[in-house]
Structure 1
Amino acid sequence: MAPRLIARKIVFHQAGSRSRCLRSFANQSRLTTSTGSRPSLPFLFIPRASPNSVRCYTSERRRWWKHEAKLVVRYTLTLWGVVVCVLTILFAVNEEVVEREFPTPHEWHYLTRKFLRDANNFKDPKNGEVNWARALELSRGVVIRLEDPKTGGQDVVKLSDIVDPSLEVPGEFIACDISEKSEEWRRGYYEAIMLAAKAAEHVDGWQRDITRNIVTPPEFVIGPSNPHPTPIPPGNPSAPREEDCELAYPSADNWYTKILATKGLNSRQMVEACLEYASFMEFKSNPQGAESLYKLALAEATADVDPKKLPYDPKTLVLKDRAEPPSMNVLSALTAMANHVARKGDISSALPMYLSILKARRSLSNDPPRTPLSKAKREPIYQQMLNFFAPPDYPPPPPDGALPPWRSTLERCQEAALNLYIGEILYATGSRDEGLAWTRDGVDLAEEQLRNPKINEDSRGTKSTCRNCLSTGLDNWSIMVSRLAKEEKDKKATGSQSSVFSFWSGPSRETEGRWEAEEAVIQDRVKRTRELLEDVQAPKPGIVSYFKV
């Protein structure tokens, strides 16, 4: 039994010593953890010799940052490269579209061509917001560049050495000799200088505030010459004061005078310049100057005609019946002169002129002049593809006006305008029924030309002329009939009052309600022709339209 007791003591002793060791190790570890001298680490954790903030600048982290930076630069450059390419393509396509709408001579410098395209775009924008000031600045720059030998003005000879130091460009309004230039160059030069003159008409009298460099129409300027200024529209700078302003642009007379003194233009261009200048003189209340310019246009139109063989009477300016058909220039000059005579109030002289011009126009040929046919050369496919992407050719030159025109859409619209002039004169002189008849014929003829599908093939000026003629004719017709309808109502009122005292009087022989009925006809006519007076386009289908039922 004794040995068993000894063995049990030994086992218990060993077990007690082991438990004491475990308790001492636990106490030691608890003590170590509480003091923070040695933290508990996870399994297989590699201890670091430095903190995390220092670890960011190790070789591994540096390589990672370099890689990320390269990706950022690469993607940024790629994105901006794509954006630049897309914008360049859109710019090129837009310039090509504007070039096809407003062509410019190909021999000009790129900036000169772009300035003229932009000037035309400001004059006739698609959104309808015309900016004549910007059109003047650009077209003015085109003329200056074309006269500069460094930007395409070689072989352009100045006809005078007198300059104006007060101008921004001292020799801007010196006339030139452009005879050595090509026909396309001269035609583009004429277009630019005429655009500058027309834009200067619309900004005539505009003021520039020298303190803020702001250009303002004269009706907004505050000063003694304008005691009741027009309020400034919201969102614009405040109205300038008259003492702080100066004339913003030169007068249109400078450009017109320069055109008339330029050498190298054909007769048609000179006649058009004279007529435009005369119209501006009438607007400026200078009838004597306008009449002189109309006579100058008529003299330019008949410069190559023997004075004994003039197609019109020099005293009455009425076209002769047995004379040869008048040229386009003669018809334009005589029509403008007749308008001037009618505006002066000399109706007895204007009416025979209108009738003779209308008779001459109706006797013109209905067929266009024959042009020599040229055999089209057969080109290879690759050349056809190159021609498709090549810029369009500059349009061929228009007629110089030395020959009689044919009854094209534009000429028929001119006939409609003559009908309106004659009808207005006859109505004013007492022949009301005849005046209404002539006015109706003019409206019918203008509407017929606007409904002609061939008008889409003509220039934009043709459609604009026909629209103006139709709009003016409808207005004249409406005014004439409204006056007659008012008189008719007054007669009815007086007739009803007198019928009380004249019981045995019979009914009136006049057809009652005639002019009221015609007023209703005019209103229907206005509604029917509204689509002809405006370019109404259907909305373009968008992405949302594909999801609609």
Structure 2
Amino acid sequence: MVQAQLPPAIPRRVLRSIARRSTVDFFYSKLPRSRSFAHKPSLLLVARPIPRPQLPFLHPATRVNIVQAHVGRFISTERKQRWKAQLWRQLRFHAYLWPSVFLVTIIMIGIQQTKFERDFPTPRDWSFWSRWLLRNAKFTELSEGAKVSQVMTDWAKAGRYYLGVLERLESEDYDGKFLLASEATGTYADSLGIVGFDVSAKSDQWRRGYHDALMGAGRAAENLDGMCRRKDDPAGRVYSRESIPGPDNPRPKPLPWDKKRGHETPPTQDEVEDAFPSPEVFYMKILTTEGFDTRQRLDAAMAYADWCDFKGLAETAEDTYSWAMDIAQAGLAGGPADIIDTKTGMIARGREDEVSENVLRVCTAYAVHHARAGNVKQALPIFLSVLRARKNLPPSPFGVIGRKRPAPQDQGLWPYISSLKDLIIERPFPEAPPSGNNRPYHTLKEACEEVGLMTYIGEILFATSDSEREKGLSWTRDSVEAAEAVLWVMEEKKEDDGRERCRECLETGLTNWKEMSRQMARLAARKAQEAEKGSGWLGLGIGKSQRIAEAQREKARWEEENVQIQLRKEKTLPLTQPIKPPPQGWF
């Protein structure tokens, strides 16, 4: 049986090419049009197909409909719902977030200002912004946390705050209502055109705050002396006059490199002005203002006299100290009296029972003025007269340590409870310090002042003549022992009034004592060398060995005293450099 031969197999490649070829439609003589996606073939439909939306990415679109095509591709009902939900959640999130951030910021600023108010109280009858400026000014000047790199005070910033306070206090639109200018008295301030106000009608808090602002502005002016700023930038950077190029300064000092600004080009001399007014503007305004007490006016006079000493204005400083003596004597309880000899500055002998605290202060400052100028012959009698007056002070009715102050409760939970209390109930304004017109009592604070006087006297006696060196060293040694004894009593009684002054006197006394002892040891060594080189009495060597032995004993004595001074320094180290306890509390 013969088997039928099958045709050869068609390759798969040929079949794919045949399938791709267009076939002839049996119902139409023309070739059919290309069918769109998702359209069923017309052979399976009884009726004509209903037009449906065509997907744009399967057929060419015109250039005009490109954006519309993309939008139509991404927008759908589900996407719209999702976008609406996301938008609503974002609105709710930001509606909760930013008011919360704002409220937390306000609370933090309030807590910070409450702490500033506790550290630097401001008058209660001032307006809100005046108190705000004074608190920030004192914080910038006095707080360790506000210093630049924890070292330098930003005096430009503090000065702007103080000027802002003074501008509001002297303006009738804010806190300076019903202020009247003082009448001219023909003083030095009137010749400069500086006239104060009459603040007698203001409250004691208002006057004290105004005095603090003026004194703070004076301190800022002293530290900004020789500085300048751009004329069109009053709150900008301050420059030293040495760095400003001009005809008077052809080789200016280059500015230091700044992390924020980098290498900055300084302005020219025509583009700058003084960064702050002169200190005498503020000090003279205090001296010509009516309503300040004796202590306040005396503080301004002594500060201005000290500034004149620094600038080398000896005659102006002398006149200012004479003015300060008149102020101190005018405030005495019995009226003006001739307790101070204005020519010499000494307290009159036999009038020690009539002196006041202000009299003692101004006489001591005047003696220091002479000592700095090198007039030790005029300074020494003044120091001795002040020391004699302090030795005759009456004892305190409250005991040696004076009126005991309540210890601050700064341990445990008290600081936090006190902070919450201050947020609700404002602390009362501190009591006014004494005017200084009364005679002080002999307390530990006054004992520290006596120690300071003894230190000055010992230094002057040692430096005046060779014959008085032993006496000057003895005064210095006694001052160190007295300061150490007073500080140990203060440490035992937990007394802080005058402790810083006594600590400074102890450190200065130890330094002077050591330097004096070293100088005496060098003199003794020189005498020993001269005795060894000498030939004795009449060149016969008689008494040479005795002089050498005396010189050696004196040299050994001063070397031994140097060792004792070093031991005394180590012994008083807890007093001069006390160890602060670690902070306690929740944090």
TM over 0.5: yes
- Structure 1: distance between partners of 2:133 and 2:495: 27
2:280 pairs with 1:253: yes
Output the amino acid matched with 1:505: S
**Residue equivalent to 1:71:** 89
2:425 to 357, 373, 390: 390
2:449 pairs with 1:414: yes
Deviation at 1:265, TM superposition (A): 0.7
Deviation at 1:36, TM superposition (A): 10
**Residue equivalent to 2:100:** 82
**Residue equivalent to 2:208:** 187
- Structure 1: distance between partners of 2:502 and 2:582: 26
**Residue equivalent to 2:545:** 505
Deviation at 1:264, TM superposition (A): 0.6
**Residue equivalent to 1:101:** 119
**Residue equivalent to 2:360:** 331
- Structure 2: distance between partners of 1:308 and 1:102: 35
Instruction: Output aligned runs, 1:134-153, within 5 Å.
Output: 134-153=157-176
**Residue equivalent to 1:351:** 380
Instruction: Output aligned runs, 1:3-42, within 5 Å.
Output: none
Distance 1:149 1:50, change over 3 A: farther
Contact 1:313 1:320 in 2 (8 A): no
- Structure 2: distance between partners of 1:233 and 1:150: 42
SS across alignment from 1:232: coil
Output the amino acid matched with 1:139: Y
**Residue equivalent to 1:118:** 136
Deviation at 1:199, TM superposition (A): 1.5
Aligned length: 490
Contact 1:368 1:408 in 2 (8 A): no
2:157 pairs with 1:157: no
Instruction: Output aligned runs, 1:402-481, within 5 Å.
Output: 402-430=437-465, 431-450=468-487, 452-453=490-491, 458=496, 462-481=498-517
1:175 to 196, 210, 230: 196
- Structure 2: distance between partners of 1:228 and 1:523: 48
TM-score (norm 1): 0.76
Deviation at 1:114, TM superposition (A): 1.7
SS across alignment from 1:208: strand
Distance 1:160 1:322, change over 3 A: closer
**Residue equivalent to 2:326:** 299
- Structure 1: distance between partners of 2:312 and 2:232: 33
- Structure 1: distance between partners of 2:500 and 2:241: 29
SS across alignment from 2:273: strand
Which segments of 5 or more consecutive residues in structure 1 lack a partner in the other structure? 1-26, 40-47, 162-170, 372-383
Distance 1:335 1:149, change over 3 A: same
Distance 1:261 1:186, change over 3 A: same
Distance 1:307 1:113, change over 3 A: closer
2:240 pairs with 1:217: yes
Distance 1:489 1:269, change over 3 A: same
- Structure 2: distance between partners of 1:455 and 1:132: 37
Contact 1:442 1:473 in 2 (8 A): yes
TM-score (norm 2): 0.72
Contact 1:56 1:62 in 2 (8 A): no
SS across alignment from 1:505: helix
Deviation at 1:240, TM superposition (A): 4.5
Deviation at 1:521, TM superposition (A): 4.0
Deviation at 1:415, TM superposition (A): 1.6
Contact 1:109 1:152 in 2 (8 A): yes
**Residue equivalent to 1:267:** 294
Output the amino acid matched with 1:95: Q
2:312 pairs with 1:285: yes
Output the amino acid matched with 2:453: L
SS across alignment from 2:121: coil
Distance 1:387 1:220, change over 3 A: closer
Contact 2:462 2:470 in 1 (8 A): yes
Contact 1:219 1:230 in 2 (8 A): yes
Deviation at 1:131, TM superposition (A): 1.8
SS across alignment from 1:233: coil
Q: Deviations over 1:164-191 (max 9, x none)?
A: xxxxxxx995411111000010011011
Contact 2:305 2:321 in 1 (8 A): yes
Q: Deviations over 1:459-505 (max 9, x none)?
A: 7xx45534443343333233322322322333344455559996982
Distance 1:467 1:129, change over 3 A: farther
Contact 2:521 2:555 in 1 (8 A): no
- Structure 1: distance between partners of 2:167 and 2:128: 15
Contact 2:352 2:392 in 1 (8 A): no
Deviation at 1:31, TM superposition (A): 6.9
Deviation at 1:528, TM superposition (A): 5.6
Distance 1:398 1:61, change over 3 A: same
- Structure 1: distance between partners of 2:244 and 2:495: 45
Deviation at 1:341, TM superposition (A): 3.4
Deviation at 1:71, TM superposition (A): 1.5
- Structure 2: distance between partners of 1:406 and 1:173: 38
Deviation at 1:394, TM superposition (A): 1.1
Output the amino acid matched with 1:392: R
Q: Deviations over 1:118-166 (max 9, x none)?
A: 21122223134212222222112211210112211112112379xxxxx
Which segments of 5 or more consecutive residues in structure 2 lack a partner in the other structure? 1-14, 21-33, 39-51, 58-69, 145-149, 185-191, 404-418
Distance 1:142 1:410, change over 3 A: farther
Distance 1:290 1:92, change over 3 A: same
**Residue equivalent to 1:44:** none
Distance 1:329 1:202, change over 3 A: same
- Structure 1: distance between partners of 2:87 and 2:576: 61
Contact 1:467 1:533 in 2 (8 A): yes
Contact 1:449 1:455 in 2 (8 A): no
Deviation at 1:221, TM superposition (A): 3.4
Indicate the larger mover: 186-195 or 227-236: 227-236
Distance 1:156 1:38, change over 3 A: closer
Output the amino acid matched with 1:490: R
**Residue equivalent to 1:17:** none
Distance 1:38 1:187, change over 3 A: closer
- Structure 1: distance between partners of 2:195 and 2:19: 106
- Structure 1: distance between partners of 2:499 and 2:257: 35
SS across alignment from 2:353: coil
Indicate the larger mover: 444-453 or 184-193: 444-453
Contact 1:144 1:172 in 2 (8 A): no
2:562 pairs with 1:519: yes
2:222 to 185, 201, 226: 201
Distance 1:387 1:250, change over 3 A: closer
Deviation at 1:328, TM superposition (A): 0.8
2:527 to 491, 506, 510: 491
